[in-house]
Amino acid sequence: MIKSLYARTVITFTIVVMISVLVAYGINYWIFKKSVEEQYLEDLTTFSEGIVKLKHTQEPEEVETFLETMASLNNYQIDLYSEKGHLKQFGKLLLWETPKKLSEDEILSVFSGKSYRYYETNLKGCHAVIAFPITIGEQTLVMSIQLDTEDEQLSTYQIYVILASVLIIGCMLIAVVSHYLVNPLQKITGATKLLAEGKYDVHLDIKRKDEIGTLARSFDDMAVEMGKIEKMRQEFVSNVSHEIQSPLTSIKGFSKLLLEDNMSEEEKKKCLEFIYSESNRLSKLGDNLLKLASLDSEKHPFEPTSYSLDEQLRRIVIMLEPQWSEKQILFNLDLPKTTIEADGDLLAQVWINLITNAIKFSPSKGKISILIKQENEVVNVFVRDNGIGIPEDHLPYIFQRFYKADHSRDRKQKGNGLGLSIAKKIVELHKGEISIASKVGEGTTFEVSIPVTQE
């Protein structure tokens, strides 16, 4: 089976042209065969009537000379037949190598008074024959007059008609075939308009194996993916609205309390602390959204330099000391000397997000391990904790924006669900990978793989 639309189109139009030529030839044959046949047979009939009239002016002994002269002057062949068969031939055909000879039955038929007319064509031209009884002296004979000719004017006219027939018939067939080719494209166009209107459940029922079928299947896949993107967009807007509305509601509530005169100084201070905390939360959300937008645009500044990865991790652990010392968390660092070429500022954001998460979800007096392992040209960094862990069914979605394993969005666990999304984006910008392994009640391990050099 031919699957290529190009090949099918070429073959289809080749067949259309061939069919057009054959049909045009058939039309030409039926149009001109009768008219040309009648024309030449009519010429022969007129000539025969002239011979019969002129014969009466000739003496019987001069008839044969007369017939020879008439045949030669007009390029005809005249044959005389008796009841027993052929007698004499006068003149000779120009094109036909084997002139028509009447059979015994045909001769007897003409003798009985039946008319005889014969016509045929080939590549050389036309061949017409008529036969009739004629009396020469006291003897009745059958005279056959044959004509062959090549009519250039008629052939040129036939060529014009053939070409016109090919054009008309070809156009009609191409119109029919084009409908077969264009119909699925019209379906795709209609589906595209529906897609533009936001109807992502559109489906093309085109079961073809050529390029159009491939296009239809790709369109269906695109519609599905766009539907998913639209769903993610709606969820994103909903999540952003929730994350913004929650602190705004708190700020509004505490601000209203501050307007009351019956509050003590201590209560006012607590309200101001809550307002500051929620404002800081809003600011952090805005910063993360801007960072994500910058990373998504692929225009975020990316300036790789060669630096010590182990020293960077140690500095970040020390920087986060107020958070882990409050929970009396023990750190286990296995950081051999490692130099990589990367954007240090961006990767620092990754380590801060991962280590902060580990601290957040680790119990008091918990344990966090940070390890570096280098394999060939790839550096693997592991951040492990022995905290609450993440349910297995949540793991595939953990890097989605605003996703939180605790769907109740516990306000005690600060965060907006963007940290891991930012970390994943930064790692991908470094042509690396980030993965997670976790068990409920046993802890979580993040693994980040970064190429040693950035090409």
Structural domains of the chain ordered from first start: 5-156 (3.30.450.20), 241-296 (1.10.287.130), 305-451 (3.30.565.10)
| Residue 400 pLDDT greater than 70, yes or no | yes
Instruction: Give the model's pLDDT for residue 435.
Output: 92
| Residue 150 pLDDT greater than 50, yes or no | yes
d(CA 308, CA 226): 42
| Residue 409 pLDDT greater than 60, yes or no | no
| Chain Cα centroid distance, residue 342 | 41
Lowest mean pLDDT among 1-5, 119-123, 296-300, 382-386: 1-5
| Residue 230 pLDDT greater than 60, yes or no | yes
Instruction: Give the model's pLDDT for residue 329.
Output: 92
Average pLDDT, the chain: 80
Mean per-residue pLDDT, 278-307 = 75
Instruction: Give the model's pLDDT for residue 279.
Output: 83
- 220 to each of 181, 195, 309, 449, how far by Cα in Å? 19, 10, 45, 35
Q: Which residue has the higher pLDDT, 71 or 331?
A: 331
Using a pLDDT cut of 90, give the percent of the chain over it: 14
Q: Which residue has the higher pLDDT, 182 or 338?
A: 338
| Residue 209 pLDDT greater than 80, yes or no | no
**And the tokens for 294?**
């910058």
**Band of the pLDDT at 223, cuts 50, 70, 90?**
confident
| Residue 335 pLDDT greater than 90, yes or no | yes
Mean per-residue pLDDT, 187-202 = 82
Q: What is the pTM assigned to this prediction? A: 0.49
The DSSP code sequence of 297-345 is TT-S----EEEEHHHHHHHHHHHTHHHHHHTTPEEEEE----EEEE-HH
Instruction: Give the model's pLDDT for residue 278.
Output: 78
d(CA 146, CA 347): 104
Alpha helices by DSSP H, 371-453:
419-429
Mean per-residue pLDDT, 56-73 = 78
Contact 24, 165 (CB under 8 A): yes
| Residue 354 pLDDT greater than 70, yes or no | yes
Going by C-alpha positions, the residue among 282, 360, 292 that lies closest to residue 320 is 360
Q: β-strand 76-82 against 139-149: which pairing, if any?
A: antiparallel
